[in-house]
Amino acid sequence: MADSDGAFNNLVAHAHDAHFVIVGGGIAGLTFAYECAKVGIAVTLFEKDDELGGTIASVELDGVRIDTGATSWQAKSPAMSALIAELGLQDRVVTPARDQVWIADPARGWAAPLPADTVLGIPANTWDESVRRVIGWGGTWRAYLDRLRPPLTIGVSRNLGALVRSRMGEKVRDRLVAPLTFGRFGIAPEDVDVDIAAPGLNAALTRTGSLGGAVSDLLVDRNREASIHSLDGGMPQLVEALRARLVELGVVMRTGATVTAVERSQDAHWQVHVEAAEGDVRESSEVVHNATVVVLATPEAISRDLAAQALGRPLATARANVHSREIVTLVLAAPALDAAAQGTEVYAVPGSSRASGIVHQTARWRWLERETDAGRHVVSVAFDTDGDPAGVTDAELRTSAVEAASALLGVALNEAHVRGMHRARFVLDQPKSTRDHAERRAGVRSELAEAGDLVAVGAWLSGSGLAQVVADAVSEADRIRSAVLWGEAGGD
């Protein structure tokens, strides 16, 4: 019993001696802070913006509080379920009122629902009317050759685009698969790893000998439950619940504070240099001298700069190939949208529209519909561009967003319908299903491991999506937390 007490006391001592400094107050940084603070580790968090939350944000438009960044998470996420339960938010979890995906080609003047029996847009039955409506008779005949071609005795394809094109042809690739990969993730089908995006598809190819047969095989066990969850009233509740819990746990959180440098001190701890925002009543600059562990929970560019300072050299692992996405949120007084005739998500065939897609938010979420008057609708229009956002004025962007909404939703809209607009620009981090993502993540973390107590989390490493970000932050927090508590990491 005495040995057990001694081990426990030693564990508590390690926790109290440790000091984690987290750079970045988005969902990755907040989750990491919570996982460490709840076991007694001292945590200080710095966020350069005035608000916590990162891509989880909201704005009031035309009297309605509207989410402007991340609005949902993957339903089958144990990490998100655990976090929501620990924060007491489980009674706020909601599923979409409607969740119909459409594909549109405004340049050719057609739009149609995504066929129900598909995996990643790949159809099980190419003769189904819903499939033919999208790819036409020529596309249907070409896709049917998948069943007539020599069987695939061993399914080993990793390149989604090449697999679909070789088995079912260009129209299935261009009109069913590409709108989803570009619209949701900003990547081409050729950049998608089949094994990650559709686990079991290659094995099913081996069993069935055709791509359509493999899709049918996977659909046998498909769960028809909602694929996404959100919070009744909006996602910023998650940020506020985390912030409140961190305050209870004694975490020091500083907003408007930019970390400018991370370097090793003479006593082998970390020194973290911080500058406050202009006009802050606190010291304009300060140095944290006693950080046991530094956690970089910032976008890739910032994390790489700080890691280079800490390691004394730039990270050798190649950067991800990412681009920017601008989300234009519109409040529209348009009763014609009440029927939500063309789904809650509409993705454009690449090259057919300036916008990559649109989400009809009031049709998707009951709580938002309750907050708006009859005939008033909230839509989010996505534009993918790497150009200078200053080169497009609000007026120009509003015109483009209204035109895209009209074309993708199939309803005549003009700028007179607009009651409010908000624009937000994000780096579109790649999903974990990107073909080289796992290797890049492993490379970065292997390099950071040289410092032992330098950690990086966030969408650029976990893959895009709240569920991926939270799961990765929990995993990394558990790894470094365990090392510190058992005396295997730290600077002394």
Give the model's confidence band at 386: pLDDT under 50 very low, under 70 low, under 90 confident, else very high. low
Model confidence over 240-260: pLDDT tens digits?
999 999 999 999 999 999 999
Tell me the CATH number of domain 116-219, given options 3.40.50.300, 3.30.2290.10, 1.10.3110.10, 1.10.600.10: 1.10.3110.10
Task: Report the 10 Å Cβ neighbour count for 311.
Answer: 16
Euclidean distance between CA atoms 443 and 64, whole angstroms: 44
Span 75-125, pLDDT tens digits: 999 999 999 999 999 999 999 999 899 999 999 999 999 999 999 999 999
Output the six-digit token pair for 113. Answer: 């629902």
Domain 323-428 has CATH 3.90.660.20: yes
In total, the chain counts a number of residues equal to 492
- Location of each CATH 3.90.660.20 domain in the chain: 323-428
* Under 8 Å between Cβ of 185 and 209: no
Residues of the chain with CATH 1.10.3110.10: 116-219
Beta-carbon contacts of residue 438 (< 8 Å; ≥ 6 apart): 196, 432
Q: Which of 220-224, 380-384, 405-409, 443-447 has the lowest mean pLDDT?
A: 220-224
280 pLDDT band, cuts 50/70/90, is low
DSSP per residue, 231-292: ETT-THHHHHHHHHHHHHTT-EEEESEEEEEEEE-TTSSEEEEEEEPTT-SS-SEEEEEEES
Backbone angles phi, psi at 376, to 5 degrees: -105, 135
CATH of 2-54+235-320+432-485, picked from 3.40.50.720, 3.40.50.150, 3.30.70.260, 3.50.50.60, is: 3.50.50.60
Residue 289: which pLDDT band, with cuts at 50, 70 and 90? confident
Domain limits, CATH 3.50.50.60, in the chain: 2-54+235-320+432-485
DSSP symbol at 116:
S
| Residue of 133, 136, 119 whose CA lies nearest to 170 | 136
